[in-house]
Amino acid sequence: MPPLDHILIVNAILFAIGVMGVLTRRNAVLILLSVELMLNAVSLNMVAFAVYGQVEFGNITGIVFAFFIIVIAAAEVALALGIVVRTFRNRATANVDEVNLLKW
Amino acid sequence: MDAGEALLLLLLIPGGAMLLTLFVPSRYGNVVRVIALVTTIATLIDSIYIFAVYDFAEGGYQFDLQYPWIENVAFLGENGISLHLAVDGIAAPLVLLNGLVGFAGVLISWKITHRVKDFFILFMALFIGVYGVYIGQDLFFWFFSYELAVLPMYLLIVIWGSTNKEYGAMKLTMVLVGSSVLIFIGIFAVFAEAGAGTFDMAVLRDVNFGRSFANTFFPFFMIGCGILAGLFPFHTWSPDGHVAAPTAVSMLHAGVLMKLGAFGIIRLGMEILPAGTDFWMPVLLVLGAVAAVYGAIAAIHQTDLKFVIGYSSVSHMGFVLMGLGTMNNIGVNGAVLQMFSHGVMTALFFAMVGGLYDQAHTRDIRVFGGIVRKMPLFVIFFGIAGLTSLGLPGLSGFVAEFHIFVGTIETFPLFAALGILSAALTAIYVLRLLGRAALGPFNPRWESLKDLSRWEIAAAIVLIAPIIAMGVWPDPFIDRISQSVADLPQVEQIGGLFTLSSLTGR
Amino acid sequence: MIWADHAWILPAIPALAFLVLFAFGRFLPRGGDFISVGAALAVFVLFFFVLESHLDWLGAGLGGIRNVGTDWINFDSFIVRLGFTVDSIAIVMVFVVSTVALMVNLYSTNYLRHQGKPEPRYWWYFAVLSLFVAAMLTLVLADNLLLMFVAWEGVGLCSFLLIGFYYERRSAVEAAKKAFITTRLGDVGLFIGIILFWRATGSFQISDIIAAAEAGRVNDLPQVMGDGYLTLSTLMLFLGAAGKSAQVPFHVWLPDAMEGPTPVSALIHAATMVVAGVYLVARMLPVFEVAPGASNVVLVVGLTTALLAGIMALAQNDIKRVLAYSTVSQLGFMFVALGVGAVGIAMFHLLTHAFFKACLFLGAGSVIHMTGEQDARKLGGLWWRMPVTASTFIISAIALAGIPPLSGFFSKDEIFVATIGGANTLVALLLGVAAFLSALYMARLVFITFFGPPKDLAVIKRTREAPPTILIPLVFLTVLTFLVGFLAFDQVGAALGFPGGIGNYVYFPEPHDFHFSNSIAAVTGTISLFGVLTAWWFFWGRNSHRAKAVREFQPRLAAAVENKFYFDEAYQWGIDRAILPLARMVAWFDRMIVNDTGINAPADATRYVAYWLRYHVTGRIPDYALLMVIGIALAGGLAFLLRG
């Protein structure tokens, strides 16, 4: 097995890619994808800690959290896609730069 | 004797009425009104019962009732947070006051037609909150009630109010919520310092807080509660709030809500942190005296009836703060008497002003003239309130004020003189108001005015009865109050100390 | 039944009448006036029982003061009593109050009617009149200062209500307001005085306070002010007395109070309420005597008032206003008597003054009622139209002028005797001037009202003599005016049960025998006659050109007198330029500084900051996300730095 550090670095890179995606992408769907990337990075982290952190396999808290995240991510995507679709219907665009009603 | 259930009923009856009202379709306005009326009659009877049964010979806290809610978890110990109710001789008259003013308020609100159901639900919330403060013996519950009494005001003013209501309501809410932040900090400081893991006042009263702690945190209670009592210079929410509020809300606002502040100073400040009184009470006295004179002078200039009464409230609450500041039995007694007296008196004032405003749609005293011809009862009732306010003997205001002045002269003679002067200034604005608006040549513009309605007359009688009762025979009040005032720590006993051999054979 | 022990019944009767009238008055036939008259009659009759039992005590040598009553407020030995006491001062007052009240009640039943029809609010008038009698009797019978203060304010309220009885008139409302507020300012002093005394003695009982003062125990406990404390407290009491008794500079309210119905002026503003100040000082005189300087203040204020008001009365043309200034002036005489320590004499003058002044007012009321005119310049030659009114009026005026053998002569003469004995000659001299003035203005009033050619024939034509209900009180009071003067003689006193005459009956600190000095009596009598002659010289019908000549000789002085030395203007200036601007300033300060700066400014500042801060809310999701990331990075960095 690779050492924990390596896995964490991979996760960090994955997370950073997600963040960059969220920050730079303009298409709402791609931003959602990037968010998924971030979530997955976190889930992976959880699993990694669950596996490496404990000698016996008694503690599965991290894994449970990962499942939670997956479930929530699914719900969240459903919700977010709904919003994106509505926005697209109303404004004929999925470009978040053009959806700037939520301000002062 | 200790029938704490009577106290619980004070909360349950209006609470139940609120729930019941929720399920009444809003088109049945009269059903809602009748529910409110029956509720306030029931609470009034209960209040009278409590006032009457309170055993002043025994004194102290009676009707004790305690249900633990959360205890022995985390930082909370035995009776951590509980529903603890009790009244002492100071709270008993105020409970009665709330019963009276609430009942009169419902009578006055009979004429409300806009969103009747919502009005009475909020009114009841306010009503419960006030009761909760007077009878609450647990800081957590006390603070909850305190907020419950303040917050419905916002909606009541914004929806049913008049004249610049958004501003008035927002200012009132912001200032009062701001002040309760101070109380909140004070409560937690006291909780932490006591280390008893309980919010129960009965326990906290017995904790001996150090002088430096008390000196630091006393002002949190004094100013936090004081703001609600119209402490100078944080008083301006009060006149503006009065002007904006609908009649019944003005009545409760000036009649009982402002008393919560002064009551809070007694309950939280003087009872829990007595060590802080030495330093801070003179400050309170000075601020009270300033408010008394300042409010009276400002009232002279006002032309809006409600502003006049609003500033007169500031002035009279200044007397209350003065009385508390004396820290002797006579002065504090007078302060509590003044709370009651001012409560019924201002409620009467506002009830009457409401009766006029609803017809005339103006409160500018300059445009009225000689309306006694059309509204004799209005003028008589308003006149009684005015005479009470200027401290005419035979009415409750005099009894209260003279206790306060006698108490003040013991330690701060100059401020007693100031206070008496401000009572004379009261005569100026009250008579100016009566002379301008009620008497003099009749202004034909008001040909269409009608005298008070049945409901308003009933409300006025409910309020005048205690004014006269207390003015003529204050004993029932003083018996109850003086016992509990004597129990307050740090309150000095004076009176008759230097009496020569009296010819009365005593 | 020992009536003097149950003196509380006296105020209780009219109080009950008030309650009945207040509740049911407007439904009763005749507005319930018979209830009020009946109550006054009952008080009048009961007074004699009280008097008798009090004289019995005196005869038995039981001393003067008896306290009966109950506790009104009593906790922690803070005691306020609802106590009544009957002593000789109170007896004199009760006599005055009950007699004049009965007469005025009777008189009003007719006065308040026009062509037999009662005026509007007829019942209300009698209700308040009863309340007044109750409060006034409480005032004089109270055994402690606080109860006295309660009644003191009560009579003030009744005065307010009755002055403002014709409240459709703006001037009546203003006068009522002025009366209440002016006396109220004096009452501030009174109240401060009362609680200052309480502070030093722990009691409101008058007897306790007097005992403490005589024992030298009225001082502030830390002994900061020493005797100054006693003087201060005493002068505070005097402030209240001066306000109620319309002494300079508080005198301005009394002439304006003439806006009320005339019987009210007779009862309240001549005979009873305005002498409450005299009564208070008389009651507390032992304290005034002990307090250094206090008596002199009383003397100086009384003398100033007697002179100033006497001069002011000269230039008034309204019958009632002349009488009002004359009342002020006579009250000044009483205070002079008190200032030299002669209680008995002050009370004697109070007694005689009450009767002849009430008679004068009721006579003036009769004139006003029958002619509809109260400007003396428009009257004249009335005596043959209203002979009874005119003769009673003239007799009372002679009494007021101080011409023997009417009562005013005796009491005024007594004041002179006391002044010469107790103060210096200058005071006596100035008082002589005041006495001269009182003869002068009364004669002037009589001359231009009742004699000389009628100024307005229409008025004279419609005038006829008043009906009996008005005349009976006039005659009764005139008879009293004749008689009470003789109370000063000890033979008369002995016959009635108080040997030594009234000066010996009302006494403090020692009995005052009636010093009838022929030379002084001759002088005072001459002064009065001279005053009348002077009035004749200047004001008698065809001589009035002389008065005009004087006016033209010194126009500015004449204007000053006619404008009452500009007191009202000065006060008005003070109100307009000082009090109202102060109120405006405070109101402005409250709005602009306290509210708009103190309360609104934090709110505005919050809004201002938010106004700029909101620009970071661009509405673009990536911007939010970037801020979030930066925030998390900062938080993480901070946590990293602080991890140790």
The 10s digit of each residue's pLDDT in B73-122 is 777 888 888 889 999 989 999 999 999 999 999 999 888 888 889 999 99
Asked if residue C97 has pLDDT above 90, the reply is yes
From C617, which residue of chain A is nearest by alpha-carbon distance?
A: A103
- pLDDT score, position A64: 86
**Residue contact C619–A103, C-beta within 8 A:** yes
Contacts of B373 in chain C (CB under 8 A): 168
Nearest CA to B313 out of B379, B261, B372 is that of B261
Asked if residue B506 has pLDDT above 50, the reply is no
Structure-block tokens of residue C435: 């006495």
> To the nearest whole number, what is the mean pLDDT of chain B?
88
Asked if residue B505 has pLDDT above 50, the reply is no
Interface probe with A: pick from C621, C626, C627, C632, most Cβ of A within 10 Å: C621
- pLDDT score, position C205: 86
The per-residue pLDDT for range B142-197, each reduced to its tens digit, is 999 999 988 888 899 998 888 788 888 888 888 888 899 999 999 999 998 888 88
Mean pLDDT of C154-166: 92
Helix, strand, or coil here: C467?
A: coil
CB pairs under 8 A between B and C: 179
Q: How confident is the model at residue B2 (pLDDT cuts 50, 70, 90)?
A: low
Contacts of C599 in chain B (CB under 8 A): 171, 175, 234, 236-237
**Residue contact C154–B393, C-beta within 8 A:** yes
B62 has which bridge partners?
B87
CA distance B75 to B77: 7
Rounded to 10°, the helix B277-301/B305-326 angle is 160
- pLDDT score, position A12: 93
pTM summary value = 0.88
From B432, which residue of chain C is nearest by alpha-carbon distance?
A: C177
Touching pair A, B by Cβ (3+ pairs < 8 Å): no
- pLDDT score, position B502: 40
Contacts of C615 in chain A (CB under 8 A): 104
CA distance B392 to B384: 9
Q: How confident is the model at residue C134 (pLDDT cuts 50, 70, 90)?
A: very high
The per-residue pLDDT for range C351-371, each reduced to its tens digit, is 999 999 999 999 999 888 888
Any chains having at least 3 CB pairs less than 8 A from chain A are C
CA distance C423 to B129: 69
Interface probe with C: pick from A26, A83, A96, most Cβ of C within 10 Å: A96
Asked if residue C494 has pLDDT above 60, the reply is yes
Provide the 8-state DSSP code for C291.
S
CA distance B302 to B429: 9
Mean pLDDT of C451-468: 80
**Residue contact B498–C201, C-beta within 8 A:** yes
Q: How confident is the model at residue A57 (pLDDT cuts 50, 70, 90)?
A: low
From A20, which residue of chain C is nearest by alpha-carbon distance?
A: C626
Q: How confident is the model at residue B1 (pLDDT cuts 50, 70, 90)?
A: very low
**A29 and C CB contact within 8 Å:** no
Contacts of A99 in chain C (CB under 8 A): 619, 621
**C217 and B CB contact within 8 Å:** yes
B65 close to B46: Cβ distance less than 8 angstroms:
no
**C557 and B CB contact within 8 Å:** no
Q: How confident is the model at residue A75 (pLDDT cuts 50, 70, 90)?
A: very high
- pLDDT score, position B503: 38
- pLDDT score, position B504: 38
- pLDDT score, position C42: 93
**C581 and B CB contact within 8 Å:** no
Query: DSSP states of C293-313 as a string?
Result: THHHHHHHHHHHHHHHHHHHH
**C607 and B CB contact within 8 Å:** no
C590 close to B298: Cβ distance less than 8 angstroms:
yes
Place of tokens 């402490």: B231
B500 close to C217: Cβ distance less than 8 angstroms:
yes
For residue B78, give Cα distances in angstroms to A77, B87, B203: 48, 22, 10
Provide the 8-state DSSP code for C67.
E
Mean pLDDT of C468-492: 84
**C622 and A CB contact within 8 Å:** yes
Provide CB contacts within 8 A for C204, sequence distance 6+.
C79, C80, C81, C144, C145, C146, C147, C194, C197, C198
Terminal alpha carbon distance of chain B: 33
Asked if residue C347 has pLDDT above 80, the reply is yes
**Residue contact B499–C200, C-beta within 8 A:** no
- Core vs surface per residue C548-582: b (16+ CB within 10 A) or e: eeeeeeeeeebeebeebeebeeebeeeeeeeeeee
Decide: residue A17, CB within 10 A, 0-12 exposed, 13-18 middle, 19+ buried: middle
Q: Half-sphere exposure (CA, 13 Å, Cβ side) for C588?
A: 6
**C180 and B CB contact within 8 Å:** yes
Mean pLDDT of A6-17: 92
Structure-block tokens of residue C376: 């003396």
Provide the 8-state DSSP code for B138.
B
Contacts of B236 in chain C (CB under 8 A): 590, 594-595, 598-599
B9 close to B46: Cβ distance less than 8 angstroms:
yes
B84 has which bridge partners?
B66
- pLDDT score, position B501: 41
Contacts of A97 in chain C (CB under 8 A): 620, 622
The per-residue pLDDT for range C593-623, each reduced to its tens digit, is 888 888 888 888 988 998 888 887 777 777 8
- pLDDT score, position B499: 45
- pLDDT score, position C86: 84
**Residue contact A97–C622, C-beta within 8 A:** yes
Backbone angles phi, psi at C82, to 5 degrees: -100, 70
Query: DSSP states of chain A as a string?
Result: ---HHHHHHHHHHHHHHHHHHHHH--BHHHHHHHHHHHHHHHHHHHHHHHHHH-SSTT--HHHHHHHHHHHHHHHHHHHHHHHHHHHHHHHS--BGGG---S--
pLDDT > 70: what percent of chain C?
94
**Residue contact B431–C180, C-beta within 8 A:** yes
C310 close to C322: Cβ distance less than 8 angstroms:
no
Query: DSSP states of C346-396 as a string?
Result: HHHHHHHHHHHHHHHHHHHHHHHHHHS--BGGG----TTTSHHHHHHHHHH
In total, chain A counts a number of residues equal to 104
**Residue contact C203–B500, C-beta within 8 A:** yes
pLDDT > 90: what percent of chain C?
28
B67 has which bridge partners?
B83
Touching pair C, A by Cβ (3+ pairs < 8 Å): yes
**C169 and B CB contact within 8 Å:** yes
Asked if residue A58 has pLDDT above 60, the reply is no
Interface probe with B: pick from C78, C194, C225, most Cβ of B within 10 Å: C78
Nearest CA to C244 out of C319, C167, C148 is that of C148
Asked if residue C456 has pLDDT above 80, the reply is no
Interface probe with C: pick from B409, B439, B477, most Cβ of C within 10 Å: B439
**Helix or strand (DSSP H, E) at B119:** helix B116-135
Facing residue for A103 by CB, picked from C617, C622, C626 = C617
Touching pair C, B by Cβ (3+ pairs < 8 Å): yes
**Residue contact A31–C621, C-beta within 8 A:** yes
Structure-block tokens of residue C525: 């009598």
Higher pLDDT, residue B75 or B477: B477
B424 close to B358: Cβ distance less than 8 angstroms:
no
Asked if residue C515 has pLDDT above 70, the reply is no
Specify the range with the lowest mean pLDDT, choosing from B189-203, B333-347, C8-22, C540-554.
Answer: C540-554
Provide CB contacts within 8 A for B316, sequence distance 6+.
B292, B295, B338, B342, B345, B346, B389, B397
Count of other CB atoms within 10 angstroms of residue B295: 30
CB pairs under 8 A between A and C: 32
Mean pLDDT of B400-416: 87
Asked if residue C511 has pLDDT above 70, the reply is no
Helix, strand, or coil here: B393?
A: coil
**Residue contact C181–B502, C-beta within 8 A:** no
**Residue contact C170–B237, C-beta within 8 A:** no
Q: How confident is the model at residue A54 (pLDDT cuts 50, 70, 90)?
A: low
Q: Where are the beta strands (DSSP E) in C440-538?
A: none
CA distance B152 to B253: 11
The minimum CA-CA distance between C624 and chain A, rounded to whole Å, is 9
Query: DSSP states of B415-437 as a string?
Result: HHHHHHHHHHHHHHHHHHHIIII
Contacts of C622 in chain A (CB under 8 A): 22-26, 96-97
Q: How confident is the model at residue B444 (pLDDT cuts 50, 70, 90)?
A: confident
From A31, which residue of chain C is nearest by alpha-carbon distance?
A: C622
Asked if residue C102 has pLDDT above 90, the reply is yes
Nearest CA to C568 out of C325, C376, C373 is that of C325
**Residue contact C153–B402, C-beta within 8 A:** no
- pLDDT score, position A48: 86
Residues 579-618 of C with CB under 8 A from A: 614-615, 617-618
Contacts of C626 in chain A (CB under 8 A): 23
Asked if residue B474 has pLDDT above 80, the reply is yes
Contacts of B420 in chain C (CB under 8 A): 188, 191-192
The minimum CA-CA distance between C631 and chain A, rounded to whole Å, is 13
**Residue contact C626–A103, C-beta within 8 A:** no
Helix, strand, or coil here: B296?
A: helix
Asked if residue C149 has pLDDT above 70, the reply is yes
For residue C172, give Cα distances in angstroms to B479, C160, C177: 43, 10, 8
pLDDT > 90: what percent of chain B?
36
- pLDDT score, position C455: 77
Facing residue for A100 by CB, picked from C620, C626, C629 = C620
Q: Is the dihedral of CA C4, C5, C9, C11 positive or negative?
A: positive
**C462 and B CB contact within 8 Å:** no
Q: How confident is the model at residue C41 (pLDDT cuts 50, 70, 90)?
A: very high
**Residue contact A26–C622, C-beta within 8 A:** yes
- pLDDT score, position C644: 66
Structure-block tokens of residue C474: 């006039």
**Residue contact A23–C617, C-beta within 8 A:** no
Q: How confident is the model at residue C2 (pLDDT cuts 50, 70, 90)?
A: confident
From C625, which residue of chain A is nearest by alpha-carbon distance?
A: A23
